[in-house]
Amino acid sequence: MKTNRFLSRSVLALAALLSACGGGGDAQTTEQAAAVGSRMIGVNVMLNQAPTAAVLADIGRLGRVRDVIAPIQALTLQARASDLDAIRALPYVAAANPDAERKGAPVDTVVATDFSNGRSTWDQDAINVIDFGTTRTAAYDGTGVYVAVLDTGLLDSWRQYFPQERIAVEHARAFGGGGGEVGSVSSQPNKWEHDQDSHGTHVTSTILGYSLRGTPVGGTAPMATVIPVKVLNQNGSGWSSVVARGIVYVADLKFSGYLGASPVVINMSLGGSVLDAIEKAALDYAIGKGVIVVASAGNSGNAGMGFPGAYAPVISVAASGWIGEWAGGNRSWWNNRDVPDPTNVNDFYITDFSSREKAGQQLDVAAPGSWVVGPYQVNSGQTSYFFLGGTSMASPHVAGVAALMMQKNSSLTQGQVEAILKGSAIALPAGCRDVATPAGTSAHVCWDTDATGAGLVTADAALDATP
């Protein structure tokens, strides 16, 4: 199975270029060091007090305040890299760090062309939401629950995939800027439904299901209401300052009563290599307001998990697969084969790209993230469907199951949802599987105990365990 090995090659190429240019180690000149220090960067700042006018004026001596997130006592600065230590030393600063990059791209894409009138998909069968055929087996459907999808937004053509009443257009938002741009985070009206990347549309399709050229395909929580919150740009990348703003926005929607008493789940199929201070504060704020937060573990394999998924309070999701994928070169396997009961763990595996748990990180559960079919466009305005692989595809399965749980018991807390999911998961011991590939070859895929968390999530077991 193809993974993101191009990333490591790019890093090596960049390292070689820096070395050739004299940009590393002791060879760096005083002039080069000064140039780096004078470079303007986005800095995310957590305060230990309210962002008063006096605080903003004082910190403004070291940079330009670009955004203030008052509910979590945070702000963003455009400042010189050389001033970062001085910013951290200010008595009212609890933490400060460069704005961290976030990405949500899948690791592979294969066009899906043969649909053979199927209404269920292997992944929904694997988590016991829809049995082989069209029979929905889950006792709940997400009615009354909001799922905020913090991602790239939706394609212009989203109404051709989703029922309009399932998308909360009145609450949909787009946030942009941050990091290496100018440091500011702005709200961009209506941009949420003009995505060019397709990532957020594919993620949403796992939760709601979608129209397959007029044929309905089932989702994990098809009657939930999705709030699209665009926090990644048209290339599927962005900054933690923007993600934090999106998280606080959703939390405030719930806290303010705009969503009534409805439960709210956040799905974040995105991540980066470090935990950002204001993103952490935003997550704590949202969880404190009763929002359930689910995130992808990352696509870095043995290099470790990404954040925010690796942050312990977040429910993190690894990517599992089914050994029946592509067997016999059948391109419609995804909807014309009955996936065996997932209690037979010999039929499942953990993908090689799925991030493993490292020291200081917490991996919770696994869900289908290998070759999941959904809407994905390569030509603007032209509907098309692709198989995607990535923990980005695994996370919305668990967010959807969490929505079903919250429909059954809206009083559940983040900790309770996580405990139920982990306690009801089917353990997947370390092992190896031979898995067919789209090219007709076979891949020998292995994983250890750091790759599975508590095991495979199934909706029926999670709901049975929900009081």
Please report the pLDDT score of residue 337 as a whole number: 81
Provide mean pLDDT across the span 199-228: 93
- 259 to 254, 293, 440: CA distances (angstroms): 6, 17, 49
pLDDT at 422 over 50: yes
pLDDT at 33 over 80: no
> What pLDDT band is residue 181 in, cutting at 50, 70 and 90?
low
Please report the pLDDT score of residue 212 as a whole number: 86
Q: Which of these is catalytic: 67, 108, 195, 199?
A: 199
The string of pLDDT tens digits covering residues 309-364 is 999 999 999 999 999 999 877 777 887 788 876 678 999 999 999 999 999 899 99
The string of pLDDT tens digits covering residues 255-312 is 999 999 999 999 999 999 999 999 999 999 999 999 999 999 999 999 999 999 999 9
CATH top-level class of 31-98: alpha beta
> What pLDDT band is residue 457 in, cutting at 50, 70 and 90?
very high
Q: Which of these is catalytic: 123, 141, 151, 352?
A: 151
Please report the pLDDT score of residue 9 as a whole number: 25
Highest mean pLDDT among 7-11, 25-29, 98-102, 333-337: 98-102
pTM of the model: 0.88
Under 8 Å between Cβ of 323 and 295: no
Please report the pLDDT score of residue 34 as a whole number: 43
Phi, psi of 11 (to 5 degrees): -65, -45
Please give, one letter per residue, the 3-state secondary structure of 28-42.
Answer: CCHHHHHHHHCCEEE
Please report the pLDDT score of residue 22 as a whole number: 31
Alpha-carbon distance of 36 to 463, in angstroms, equals: 54
The string of pLDDT tens digits covering residues 129-149 is 988 766 788 999 999 999 999
Q: Which of these is catalytic: 198, 240, 320, 392?
A: 392
- 46 to 69, 77, 221, 435: CA distances (angstroms): 10, 11, 36, 46
Strand partners, 436: 442
The sign of the dihedral angle between the CA atoms of 217, 220, 223, 227 is negative
- 277 to 206, 255, 305: CA distances (angstroms): 30, 22, 17
Place of tokens 């359930």: 292
Under 8 Å between Cβ of 288 and 250: no
Provide mean pLDDT across the span 368-391: 91
**Got the DSSP string for 338-377?**
PPPPTT-GGGEEE-SSSPPP-TT----EEEE-SSEEEE--
Q: Given the DSSP bridges, would you call strands 442-447 and 431-436 parallel, antiparallel or unpaired?
A: antiparallel
- 408 to 71, 311, 466: CA distances (angstroms): 30, 27, 8
pLDDT at 25 over 70: no
Provide mean pLDDT across the span 182-188: 74
Q: What is the mean pLDDT of the chain?
A: 87
Please report the pLDDT score of residue 454 as a whole number: 98
pLDDT at 78 over 90: yes
pLDDT at 88 over 90: yes
Please report the pLDDT score of residue 180 as a whole number: 57
Under 8 Å between Cβ of 63 and 83: yes
The architecture that CATH gives domain 102-465 is 3-Layer(aba) Sandwich (3.40)
Is 108 an annotated catalytic residue? no
Alpha-carbon distance of 163 to 18, in angstroms, equals: 50
pLDDT at 390 over 60: yes
> What pLDDT band is residue 110 in, cutting at 50, 70 and 90?
low
Provide mean pLDDT across the span 423-451: 94
Alpha-carbon distance of 131 to 340, in angstroms, equals: 10
Is 171 an annotated catalytic residue? no
Across 62-66, 113-117, 198-202, least confident range: 113-117
DSSP state of 272: B
Domain boundary assignment for the chain: 31-98, 102-465
> What pLDDT band is residue 26 in, cutting at 50, 70 and 90?
very low
3-class DSSP state of 85: helix
Residue among 117, 112, 163, 114 nearest 142 (CA): 163
